[in-house]
Structure 1
Amino acid sequence: LLIMFFTTGSFADKIGPTDGNIVGRETDTVTLKFSYETSNEYILLYWYKQDTKSTPQFLLYKSARSANSERKPTDTRLESTTTRDSTELTIRGLKLSDSALYHCALR
């Protein structure tokens, strides 16, 4: 499986992957990690998955710093954690269908 990253954010903020492409085997657990910089205290971090020849599909969002909200994923294999300057998406029990481009957006 090959998992790739793409980032989005506002012009004054920075967000990007801390690792390059992630490779795993079926049934493995992988963690995608992004670090970010922003002066905002009310942050929402959005995760999307984009399959080949498809538009990005929303997975979940999670707040960080002073914000306190989240929308959990419908896929229970996915879990997100956040800190003051990073976010992670963990995928458990990898499947071939998890091979995709993953986006993280900062709002």
Structure 2
Amino acid sequence: MTNKPKTYIGINNEINGGMTTIGKIIRDAWVFELIEETETCEGWNLAGIDALLEKVNNEWDKYSCLVGFLPPELRERHQRIHDVAIQNAKKAGWSGESETDDEDE
């Protein structure tokens, strides 16, 4: 049995160019300006990530969890942040297939 790390490795050190659940939480936290866009969360413990997730979810709840309901400023920030993340992830070898593998079943 391997020991899980006690702290998060940071979005810039993530597998798949940061296209992970925690990576999405961090990008959404940037969108809602809960943390600075320079904050990678490297060294954060799980409780810190969970607290950030709760704040992100509270923000999304205001907009029924839909990008289309975001006000223009937030929608543009979301588009910019996620577009850059997708471009960087593709450069790192991510294809997006792992997110859709189960849709054929």
Asked if these proteins are the same fold (TM beyond 0.5), I'd say no
TM-score by length of 2: 0.28
Larger Rg: 2
TM-score by length of 1: 0.28
The structure with the largest helix share of the pair is 2
The structure with the largest strand share of the pair is 1
